[in-house]
Structure 1
Amino acid sequence: MGKRSSQRRNAAMLDSSDTDSVSSSSTARSEMLVSSGEEVQLDKDTVLDQCLDALYEKRGATREKALASLIDVFNSNMQHEYVEKKFATLLHQCLNSIKKGSSREIALASHFIGLLALTTGSGSKAQEILEESITPISEALKSRSDASRISSLLECLAIITFIGGEEPEETEKAMQLMWQIIHPKMGPNVSSAKPSSPIITAVVSAWTFLLTTMNGWTLNPKSWQESISYFSSLLDKDDRSVRIAAGEALALIFEVGNLEKFAGEAKGSGDGSTDEGSKSRELVHIQGLRSKVLNQVRSLSIEAGGKGSAKKDLNSQRNTFRDIQEFLEYGYSPETSMKIAGESLDTTTWGELIQLNFLKHFLGGGFVKHMQENEFLQDVFSFTPKKKIFSGAEHRVSGTEKRLYKSPNSVLNKARTQYMNKQRMLSQDRNVGYYTAGDEA
């Protein structure tokens, strides 16, 4: 990785502000905010420090609860200041969870690393996340027994590459890691087991998400043809989510490239007419693939529901493939618009729509909050939120925060209990000191 990466790793191990959280039980700050005389809100840093300390615990269940709490907090509010202070420790503890944790811990740690990258936005920290995470993630992806874990790892890899991958080679490397899961090259260390439908869907979605960043992609023609052929084969699968993911991938491939690019430069030598003939045959082959895809898309856009078929899923498939059909036949990409706090977030290309859907799925209920406050996402979608006008320094506790504080088993509730106990002890010490001084007088 070179001198820069080595220096970065050394600095990461020596975060001066991180060492406190390792050796102590989160020194609580004195500031407490009281709302309506009933709601006691812990200082955010105290809560987050408690979660961070819990990541050092031996019990996996404790670490899992801490990760779940961190995800809730980072999902519901931007935590720029805390990340500025504790970035290295947050990243490396999560990487330890990916290396040694249970399937659930790996899934939670992967999701949090994605949130960490979204919080930092593009820049040196996002690059460090990608550099430090790529090897642990690729190792964890080799064991494919748990679909939810693999899906979380793939989403994480997609997010951190989307944000931290500044060179096309970095993105191509991540996409190749994904591709190998569903299209492994046979060898002594490659599993011959076929991936499940949920894993295929996750791989195709993550791969397609990264393809949206590859403007003027220079993938060789053979790879283009392999991709189109493979995704075409997925359109015949029984699983509807696989078909939809493959359909969107094909739509994006045809949006990013063109038939001449797919055919590429014929690799002949000598007579130029031979080169032209080879390129012409490739072009005919690609046109044949495109026609096949179009016929498949037409059929899926009008598919009748089978026994036990969920109507909502069927409608989603029909709508998606009608859009793909219109694009392949007439060149019209679907246009969408959603309101966020009174402002419109619009998409006009397959690439923008795929990015929007992927990030909405990743952030879940936190998507709107992030779009209102996350400058990186605002730049991605050219979205300008309405400016909020605050009167005073009042802080409103969100529903998520309330649930976290009230849960008797949550790390956050334990943090509050420890904080209150410590405050009582300090108060008692002050009283003892006062009365002792009075007696001496």
Structure 2
Amino acid sequence: MGRRKQKTVEVDQLDYSDDDSVDSGSTAISDHVLAHETESVDSQEFTLEKHLEALYEKRGSTREIALAGLVTAFEGHVLLDFIQDRCITLLHQYLGSLKRGSVKEACLSARAIGLLAITGGTGSNTHEIMGESTPPLSRVLISGPDAVRIFVLDSLAVVTFVGSNNWEETEAIMKVIWEIIHPKSRSKAVVVAKPSSATLVAALCAWSFLLTTLTGWRVDLDMWTEMISFLCNLLEKGDRAVRIAAGEAIAVIFEIVIAGKLSTETNDLENLEDVPSKPKWFVYLLSLKEKIISLVSVLAMEAGGKGTDKKCLNAQRDIFQKIYDYLMDGKLPETSLIVSKKQGVLTTSTWTKLIQLNFLKRFLGSGFLKHAQDNELLHNVFHLIPHAESNLSSSERRIARSSGDRMRTQELKKDRHLAQLRKGALLFNSPT
């Protein structure tokens, strides 16, 4: 905190030109705004420190309040400065709450771990976060209550997405998640309870999200055809939310596995000629695709009955129409989202990016746009071009904004002078 105050004084001591001194009122306003911003940052850091200290308390309700405060702060801000020297300390306290706390505390701590990983982003601590958190998270996923398992699934997906160094690490976590989706695929030595509908949806979303990171790897055809077959069954038996999640997983598998890795055999996947000469796996995959297209077509046009949740039904129709268009014609889904005036529009044109966008939007909630603007991880994922100030530290951004205020004041004075020379003219153009 003392360091921040020193930097603020430095701003006041910068050498200004004579022109700067003319508009002392504007400079005073800028200095007031700068001081207010510095005070706000210091106040937030003080509050966060108090929350961190409260995590050491024995009373569970005290820890819950502290976790809730930290979760809210990390959702709405990219707190890189705060975690710089506290990352692993925070992680250990979160893991302690996950193990010893109530259901509510465990849910909050699991979410806090995921937010810590996203905040760390491309930094050096993210692999350590993954290494230390995935074993306890995986244990809770197998034996914990459903309410906690949903938060753990999100957290596992995020810490792996951010911290994994290779496909083998990601694949190991995907296997754990798949065994929640399909309990019978797990070794009989450990019994996994059948997931609730909400847990199944969370598991499917987490698994699909990690699947989008697939790059160079070995294709196990038996494994993938078995997975597609199981997901196909969910399209028939699952409730609406489960169907949507299963459909998205199928779309990502076809985009990455079928189109990307099996192109030599599947260039003529639509062609029924010479099917007998094709490998057995190809014939089976072709029949699976035909079945999926038939199911997807029905789900894209499903009629709503009395008492139907129209919002959920419309979401189902929309997603399955996109899947149908992709499987039939290769048409990829296109989406766009305005991030800010400075950074423009985030666009996606593949299933991979659409799934990543949907997952991170849901995980970050109302904080997604703030992270899209300021978080280097999201810049890399969605190829966003950060504003020039985004690469500066907090103090450097404040100095830049203060300097910018003075420059804008000088420009306005110049414009006013020109206005006096141009009688009756409207001289200010709207900014482009």
Q: TM-score range by the shorter chain?
A: 0.7 to 0.9
Q: Which amino acid aligns with 2:141?
A: L
> 2:299·2:320 contact (CA, 8 Å) conserved in 1?
yes
**Compared with structure 1, are the counterparts of its residues 77 and 236 closer, same or farther at alpha carbon in structure 2 (3 Å cutoff)?**
same
Cα distance in 2 between the residues matched to 1:221 and 1:228:
11
Measured against aligned partners, the alpha-carbon deviations of 1:312-357 in whole angstroms (never above 9, x if no partner) come to 1111100100000000000011111111113010001000000000
Paired residues of 1:120 and 1:126 also in contact (CA < 8 A): yes
Deviates most, 179-188 or 311-320:
179-188
The residue type paired with residue 345 of structure 1 is L
CA–CA separation in structure 2 for the residues paired with 1:324 and 1:62: 47
Identity, % of aligned pairs?
44
Q: TM-score, normalised by structure 2?
A: 0.76
CA–CA distance in 2 between the matches of 1:109 and 1:80?
19
Matched residue of 1:141: which SS?
helix
3-state DSSP class of the match of 2:346?
strand
Distance 1:228 1:236, change over 3 A: same
1:238 deviation in Å?
4.3
Partner of 1:118: 118
Q: CA–CA distance in 2 between the matches of 1:239 and 1:78?
A: 36
Partner Cα separation in structure 2 for residue 112 and residue 75 of structure 1: 9
**What is the letter of the counterpart of residue 114 of structure 2?**
G
Paired residues of 1:259 and 1:286 also in contact (CA < 8 A): no
Task: Give 1:378's aligned residue.
Answer: 379
Which position in structure 2 is the counterpart of 1:67? Answer: 67
Aligned to 2:359: 358
What amino acid is aligned across from residue 294 of structure 1 in structure 2?
A: I
Mapping 1:318-357, distance limit 5 Å:
318-342=317-341, 343-357=344-358
- Are residues 1:94 and 2:94 paired? yes
Q: 1:391 to 1:282 in 2, by over 3 A?
A: closer
Residues 383-392 or 95-104, more deviating: 383-392
Is the CA contact (8 Å cut-off) linking 2:219 and 2:261 kept in structure 1? no
Cα distance in 1 for residues equivalent to 2:102 and 2:325:
45
Q: Distance in 2 between the 1:36 and 1:124 partners?
A: 31
Q: Find the residue that maps to 1:135 and give its secondary structure.
A: helix
Task: Note the aligned Cα RMSD (angstroms).
Answer: 3.1
Change (3 A) 1:260 1:53: closer
**Residues 240 and 316 in structure 2, CA contact (< 8 A), matched pair in contact too:** yes
Query: Which whole-Å CA distance do the structure 2 matches of 1:211 and 1:113 have between them?
Result: 21
What amino acid is aligned across from residue 310 of structure 2 in structure 1? K
Partner Cα separation in structure 1 for residue 373 and residue 145 of structure 2: 38
Q: In the TM superposition, what are the counterparts of 1:27-42 in structure 2 within 5 Å?
A: 41=40
Deviates more, 1:178-187 or 1:283-292: 178-187
Cα deviation for residue 144 of structure 1 reads 4.3
> Structure 2: which 5+ runs fail to align?
9-30, 266-274, 390-396, 405-432
Q: Distance in 2 between matches of 1:391 and 1:78?
A: 19
Would the aligned equivalents of 2:180 and 2:194 in 1 still touch at CA under 8 Å? no
Structure 2 counterpart of 1:176:
175
| Residue 118 (structure 1) shift | 1.0
Equivalent pair of 1:117/1:160 in contact (CA under 8 Å): yes
Partner of 1:402: none
Aligned residue for 1:355, secondary structure, equals helix
Q: CA deviation at 1:30?
A: 8.9
Aligned counterparts of 1:393 and 1:203: Cα–Cα separation in 2: 49
- Confirm whether residue 225 of structure 1 aligns to residue 225 of structure 2: yes
Deviating more after overlay: 244-253 vs 30-39: 30-39
**How far apart, CA to CA, are the structure 2 residues paired with 1:141 and 1:204?**
14
What is the aligned partner in structure 2 of residue 106 from structure 1? 106
| Amino acid in the other structure paired with 2:205 | S
TM-score, normalization by structure 1: 0.75
SS in structure 2 of the partner of residue 282 of structure 1:
helix
Structure with greater helix percent: 2
The answer on whether the counterparts of 1:224 and 1:262 sit within 8 Å (CA) in structure 2 is no
Residue 377 of structure 1 and its aligned partner are, at CA, apart by 0.7
Q: Is the 8 A contact 1:216 1:257 kept in 2?
A: no
- Contact preservation (8 Å) 1:221, 1:264: no
Residue pairs, 1:263-412, within 5 angstroms: 280-342=279-341, 343-387=344-388, 391-392=401-402
Instruction: State how far apart, in whole Å, the 2-side matches of 1:264 and 1:341 are.
Output: 42
Q: Does 1:57 align with 2:57?
A: yes
Q: 1:144 to 1:93 in 2, by over 3 A?
A: closer
**How do residues 248-263 of structure 1 correspond to structure 2 at under 5 angstroms?**
248-258=248-258
Residue segments in structure 1 that go unaligned for 5+ positions in a row: 1-25, 266-275, 395-441
| Deviates most, 121-130 or 286-295 | 121-130
Separation (CA, whole Å) in 2 of partners of 1:104 and 1:363? 19
Matched residues in 2 for 1:77 and 1:353: separation? 23
2:430 aligned residue: none
Partner in structure 2 of residue 203 of structure 1? 203
